[in-house]
Amino acid sequence: MSKTLLITGAGRGIGLEMTRQAAMNGYQVLACARNIKESSDLTTLTKKNEAIKLISLDVTAENSTKQIAADIKYKIDILVCNAGVLNGYGGLEDEAHHSQAIQNVLMTNVAGVFFTVRSFLPHLVKKNSKSEEQSGTNGKIAVISSIMGSQERAGSNAPIYRASKAAATNLARSLAIELAPRRIAVGAYHPGWVRTDMGGPSADVSPHESAAGLLARFDKLNMTNTGIYESYKGEKLPF
């Protein structure tokens, strides 16, 4: 039976590419996008691929996320919290850091991860523990964070985005501890500097390379390395 991967922010960028590749790799993909009608690349991809099921989901809307989770029948093997926003690369005095933008970044990049995990947690697969190895998991959660949230690699731009990604990585660490008794492994990942709407055209990694690397890293996630913070290439990152 094929495994199931649920991903948020699947409409474009790295999320769209992970959706494409996960389906190619044999996963049933539950591809969540907040604006399905406007995600023409995703709807075109879905028409060509029966393994992809579209779900309309805004990660900041907890009640509707809970309802969507309650309505789906799938068991989920990998939950990928990918949806994210960046409200400007400027520093402290950048006018892009106004309260509504800050609220949106924190609600999406931090609370959005929390709501997604809390809503879909009951769907993470429960396997027969007897057939599991010591490192076996009952499911995996991948949080797409960023090296920009690393305390040791602090920088002078995008302070709100950096703070949100520091929190996303921290949340992944906390969840790894809380969910360990249920044998659910959690990792935080930096996808590279990727040529998407967010990363811009000068970024040095293609969405294809980033998505392939991330999916390979999710394969390696288990109960022995839960709580990991690493890049799409598998480099350990400083918190």
Binding residues vs ligand NAP (CB under 6 A) = 8-9, 11-15, 33-35, 58-60, 82-85, 108, 112, 144, 146, 190-191, 193-194, 196-199, 203
Q: How far is the CB of 107 from ligand NAP (least distance, A)?
A: 7
- Strand, helix or coil for residue 232: coil
Pick between residue 11 and residue 213 the one whose CB is nearest to ligand NAP: 11
DSSP annotation string for 166-227: HHHHHHHHHHHHHHGGGTEEEEEEE--SBSSTTT-TT-SB-HHHHHHHHHHHHHH--TTTTT
Please give the angle made by the CA atoms of 227, 228 and 230, to the nearest 5 degrees: 155
To the nearest whole angstrom, how small is the minimum distance from the Cβ of residue 196 to ligand NAP? Answer: 3
DSSP designation for 96: T
Least gap, CB of 28 to ligand NAP (angstroms)? 20
Q: Give min distance, CB of 210 to ligand NAP, in A.
A: 8
Within 10 Å of residue 20's Cβ, how many Cβ atoms? Answer: 22
> Judged by CB, which is closer to ligand NAP: 81, or 124?
81
What contacts 6, CB < 8 A, 6 or more positions away? 29, 30, 32, 55, 74, 76, 78, 79, 80, 120, 123
| Shortest reach from residue 105's CB to ligand NAP, in Å | 9
If the CB atoms of residues 11 and 159 are measured against ligand NAP, the closer one turns out to be 11
Closer residue to ligand NAP (CB): 137 or 169: 169
Q: Which CB atom, from 28 or from 108, has the smaller least distance to ligand NAP? A: 108
